[in-house]
Amino acid sequence: MTTIPTVRVLHARRRPALVLVAHGSRDPETSAEIHRLLAQLRATRPELDVRLAHLGLNAPLLPDVLDGLSGPAVLVPLLLSRGYHVKVDLPALLVAAPQVAGLIAPPLGPDPLLTEVLHSRLLEAGWGPDGDAVVLAAAGSRDPDAAVDTETQAALLAARLGVPVRTGAVTGGRSVAEAVARLTAEGHRRVAVASYFTAPGDFARLAAAAGPWITAAPLGAHPLIVDLILSRYSSATYGPGARGTATPTLVASH
């Protein structure tokens, strides 16, 4: 198992800021959906200092957000698996902000709450008793931990639906079209595509183009996504047993 590097310990004598870290996208639909999610977070927990930061492409960038902070903070990646950003980029950027006593919460996936959001989006798209298989369309990654996380989420969704769920990647690995073809070759005729993306954008559109039947909307600003983000934050702030069971990345003091 890959160990995420640690850089500083969180001392939460006051309530930490919640920094929601998005990937960043040039697609205006993506940005609009992320800002809807941000608004829901702030409305749900108005007492929290909730800030949005991006790893690239959009302002504000994470280094700029960290420059404006001092004291405790929890970085919650708006990402669905472990990978380079979670294991390398975020720890390095946090080390570069010594005035911030922070830690990095785990990515959002895999998680049972994501299973419920995926199920909800499939129902909205027309999923019913006649559906007999699903392709979980994801971004794709060369990181083996990321691949394991996506396969784990597929297994959770398969258990929820009671049908086979295969993963398909937009970039790298088995494509969405190949996953659909494999399921079709196994005799499945109603193959849906579940969009395992945080927001609409190019990846979601590419996945939808490969769908032979229905394609669900991305996860988006769903209330359960808000719950999951707050669970990651609370677990990081108060301990793994607070809300959710994921273990945060502790960062060791200088």
Overall CATH class of domain 112-209 = alpha beta
Region(s) of the chain under CATH 3.40.50.1400: 17-109+221-238, 112-209
CATH of span 17-109+221-238: 3.40.50.1400
Task: Map residue 197 onto helix, strand or coil.
Answer: coil
Say what the pLDDT of residue 246 is: 41
Q: What is the pLDDT of residue 239?
A: 74
pTM (predicted TM-score): 0.89
With H, G, I as helix, E, B as strand and everything else as coil, classify residue 225.
Answer: helix
Tell me the HSE value of 253 on the side-chain side, using a 13 A CA sphere: 6
The CA distance from 84 to 48, in Å, is 28
**pLDDT in the model for residue 104:** 96
CB 216 within 8 A of CB 194: yes
CA-CA distances (angstroms) from residue 228 to 26, 107, 238? 25, 10, 15
Q: What is the pLDDT of residues 86-124, one digit of tens each?
A: 999 999 999 999 999 999 999 999 999 999 999 999 999
Please name every residue paired with 158 in a beta bridge, in sequence order, or none if there are none.
none
Cβ-based neighbours of 194, under 8 Å, separated by 6 or more: 118, 121, 122, 134, 135, 136, 137, 157, 165, 216
